[in-house]
Amino acid sequence: MQAVALNALSGWRWVSDGWALFRTQPLAFFSWAMFISLLLMVASITPPIGPILFVVLMPAVTVVTLSAGRHAAQGHKMLLGMWLEPLKPSGVFKKLLGMGALYLGICLLLGLLAFMPFAAEVTEALKALTDANNLLPLLEAVRTPMVIFGVFYMLMAAIFWYAPVLVAWHQISISRALFFSGIACWRNKWVFLIYGLSWLAVFLAIDSALSLLVWIGLSNSVAATVQVPINIIGGAVLYCSFYPSYASVFVATEPEPAAE
């Protein structure tokens, strides 16, 4: 399996290709993005079980997302019964759950490694928050470990980025999928930098546009109401851009869908 090294500007091309893919079936992709948003909202209000289940299911959600993108790219209309088809081949869903559990375990381990050296400072800051209701010491105490965790997380995200779809579509082991994903991301590190900056610019532009509407007289409640569907559309285009990313990096090795 060979990962292609792309020009850095391909990162922006992934974004534009995601927009083009979204425009082919906007209602289907909008609905999928809204479903993911609802899952995330439910997870956020049901700790600790909700967040754990969400993280464990992330690889399966990724495969469904990329499969929908591939169907749309091939000119097929996404119907309701087609969304879960990628998870039906024997052993695929079980492997993806295993990958999700591994992802969760590594996240917890990296968090432990990042925060343990600063445990005393964080404990003192929590005490200050309890005694004096002063949040500033806590923010200062967690700043450095959060930066360390962020670096760890980016490295882990690269290893897992393509791994779910490599397991589901190429029928390879989790360890090999993680290896190939890490190599592919390393070869295209500048592409991913442009990709990430492009999406940061897109969402900042959305936020700035809505802030401008408030500044010129639109009420905060109306602006917040408008922002929800716009953010979901942004998320839908983001999810649509995952397939162009995969297809361009593994273009020579993409198999036909198995039992979809």
Least confident span in 64-68, 144-148, 186-190, 250-254: 250-254
- 160 Cβ neighbours under 8 A, 6+ residues apart: 59, 99, 103, 178, 181
Inside any domain, residue 259: no
Q: Sorting pLDDT into bands at 50, 70 and 90, what band is 65?
A: very high
User: 231: pLDDT confidence band, cut at 50, 70 and 90?
Assistant: very high
3 domain residue, yes or no? no
Structural domains in the chain (count): 1
Mean pLDDT of 197-211: 93
Could you tell me if residue 1 is inside a domain? Answer: no
Residue 258 belongs to some domain of the structure? no
- Which amino acid is located at 98 in the chain? G
User: Helices 220-240 and 49-73: crossing angle, nearest 10°?
Assistant: 60
In a domain, 40, yes or no: yes
**pLDDT band per the 50, 70, 90 thresholds, residue 253:** low
What b-and-e string marks burial along 208-246, b requiring 16 or more CB atoms within 10 Å of the CB? Answer: eebeeeeeeeeeeeebeeebeeebbbbbbbbbbbbbbbb
For range 66-75, the mean pLDDT = 95
Give me the count of residues in the chain.
260
The type of residue at 124 is E
Rounded Cα gap, residues 78 and 63, in angstroms:
15
Residue 245: inside a domain: yes
Cβ–Cβ < 8 Å for 97, 141: no
Q: How many other C-beta atoms are found inside a 10 Å radius of the C-beta of residue 162? A: 25
Other Cβ atoms less than 10 A from the Cβ of 29: the count is 26
Q: Is residue 160 part of a domain?
A: yes
**Cβ-contact 103, 51 below 8 angstroms:** no
Residue 5 in any domain: the answer is: no
Range of the domain at 79: 10-253
Residue 191 CA to residue 133 CA, distance in Å, equals 44
pTM: 0.90
| Over residues 71-99, mean pLDDT | 94
